[in-house]
Every structure is written in C-alpha cells, then in structure tokens.
Amino acid sequence: LGQITGADIGVYASVIDDSIDWLLTRYREESRLATMETHVERLRELQEGLAQYERRLAESTSKGHCKVELTSRSLHLDLLYQRSETLKVQLDNVELKLGKVYAVTGANGCGKSTLFAVLASCGRRSPPL
C-alpha cells in the first residue's frame, strides 16, 4: 500500500492535464458567452436608440425647401430647414465649385451633422426633410 508506481504517476498526470484542459476550455467558453451577452446588450441599446430616433422623426414637424442645381462647374444650393424654433438651417444661394474641397466647422451642437443630413435628403428623389 504506500508505494506509487510510475504508471500511477502517469495516470495522475493525465488526470491533472485533462482537468486543466477542461478548466481552460470552460473559461474560454464563459469568456465567449460574456462577450456575446455584451454584444446582445449593445444591440438592444442600439435598437432602442433607433426606435427613439424614428419616433422623434415621426413626431417632428419639419418644414423647408431644397433646391439643388448642378451645372458643369458648380453646385448651387438654396435651402431652408426648420424643425423647431431653435433648429434652423438656412443657405441662400450657395455656390460650391466642383473639384474644390470645403470644410464645415463649428462648435458641438451647432448643426454640422444636421446640415449634411439635410443636404443628403436634398439629393434624393424622396420627399426632402
């Protein structure tokens, strides 16, 4: 009884190796599951944000007009977009030369993204704004 043979040590080593592999595999799978749960949570947040945006868009009472003329050398814009008393984008007779680079700068919340969203809607055949 008190002796451990070489075969016993091999069996014990094999059991320990298998246990370590099992623990590492379980840890990896738990890590993957946690990552997937994080992704699912983030997708739910994005879905909720999109739904809120769509509700705000449906509730907004926007008005405006957009006229875009493209000539061989320039783009002419006349634009008025107003969604509330505080949100207003107005461009009167703006000419952008083709081939030139323009920069739109301003403080956070001053309407840069709104301007580009309105300009993008002007180029579509769907109803603008």
Contacts by 59-62, CB closer than 8 A, 24 or more apart = 60/84, 62/129
State pLDDT tens for residues 41-56: 999 999 999 988 887 7
Q: 112 in helix, strand or coil?
A: helix
In a 3-state reduction of DSSP, which class is residue 90? strand
**H/E/C letters for each residue in 36-83?**
HHHHHHHHHHHHHHHHHHHHHHHHCCCEEEEEEEECCCEEEEEEEEEC
pLDDT at residue 30, rounded to an integer: 93
pTM of the predicted protein model: 0.40
**Residue 97, strand partner residues:** 74
pLDDT at 81: 76
Between 69 and 24, where is the model more confident? Answer: 24
